Amino acid sequence: MKKVIGIDLGGTSIKGVVMGEDGAYGEALRIPTEAYKGGEHVLASIMSLIGELLGTVGDQPVAGVGIGTPGFVDGDGTILGGAENLPGWKGVQIYAPITERYGLPVAAANDVTAVALAELKFGAGRGVKNIVCFALGTGVGGGIVIDGKLYAGSHGMAGELGHIVVETGGLQCACGQNGCLERYSSATGIVRLAIDYASSADVDTPFARLVRKNPAEITAKIVYEYVAQADSLAMKVHHTACEMLGRAAGIMMNALSPDRIVLGGGVMMAGDIITNTVKTYAARSAWPAIFERCEVVPAQMGEDAGVMGAGALALERF
């Protein structure tokens, strides 16, 4: 059976697996990223992890390496930017050194795009051809699969869905625009909404009092604990976050008429309440005939989605 290596580069750790054609893999190996040491150090760590993984396969041939990385990757394997958590990663050429040392072809893609591919092959996108994934984490990432294949755009930059404007003249975003999706529906955005909404003293709910007392300790998880108790302030935050995501989902439905919109990332630990609410709002933002033919579903892959997507990328290419 064909085997490939999948690498998931994160701000904290680098994970790697050896994966078979069926998506099966053994235990993931993990090393610290030590991002502060710079881009060349990160590349050296990836290379040594690949060496370690190759050591586990014995004589079995490996067809190639897939890598999921924050930011954008150009067609030749150069990091173009967009990876703010990895200083010095921009400009690094990642294909040539790996191919030179190990004689293996390499394919890299944005980490969320890789997750989208994992969902397509093994998770919430199985059996269909076109999906759009929103990853709700610290920011909002996007991954697009077209005709069963990862769509990276002309320069590896497609899927910048967190910066779709969903509220004209809305909240200021670090990117310079106002009203970006990320400002409302990421974990960070949800927490900021909570702090903002709770700032008025005449909002008096258990959640509002907690936020006013410990604003620095509020997380999206805590917001959804109060949503589960139907706290009216937490519900208001939830509805804003889901309405904005519903608008973006509606836009993507109108543009691409995909089979499924897949919602993933840490925020989705809150479960079906988000999927269902987003769906309600998306219905108002999409052409009805398109909406009727597009499901809104939660991601199915757990924390290994990144390495699985990277492996799937290598399986697809090599």
Instruction: Tell me whether residue 113 or residue 205 sits nearer to a second copy (CB atom).
Output: 113
Residue by residue, DSSP assigns 14-74 as EEEEEEETTS-B-PPEEEE--GGG-HHHHHHHHHHHHHHHHHHSTT--EEEEEEEESSEE-
User: Is residue 72 within the footprint of a second copy (CB under 8 A)?
Assistant: yes
- Residue of 86, 161, 242, 296 that binds a second copy (CB under 8 A): 161
Instruction: Tell me whether residue 64 or residue 142 sits nearer to a second copy (CB atom).
Output: 142
Q: Cβ of residue 252: shortest distance to a second copy, in angstroms?
A: 7
CA distance 269 to 172: 27
Please list, in sequence order, all residues whose beta carbon lies within 8 angstroms of the beta carbon of residue 246, skipping any fewer than 6 positions away.
277, 278, 279, 280, 281, 282, 283, 284, 285
CA distance 265 to 36: 25
User: Is residue 290 within the footprint of a second copy (CB under 8 A)?
Assistant: yes
Q: Cβ of residue 160: shortest distance to a second copy, in angstroms?
A: 4
User: Is residue 243 within the footprint of a second copy (CB under 8 A)?
Assistant: no
Instruction: Tell me whether residue 187 or residue 251 sits nearer to a second copy (CB atom).
Output: 251
- Residue of 106, 285, 298, 311 that binds a second copy (CB under 8 A): 285
For residue 162 the two structure tokens come to 């967190």
Instruction: Tell me whether residue 101 or residue 155 sits nearer to a second copy (CB atom).
Output: 155
Phi, psi of 9 (to 5 degrees): -90, 120
Instruction: Tell me whether residue 101 or residue 293 sits nearer to a second copy (CB atom).
Output: 293
Other C-beta atoms lying within 10 Å of the C-beta of residue 233? 24
Residues of this chain that bind a second copy (CB under 8 A): 72, 80-82, 128-130, 142, 144, 146-147, 151-161, 163-170, 175-177, 179, 247, 250-252, 254-259, 284-285, 287, 289-290, 293-294
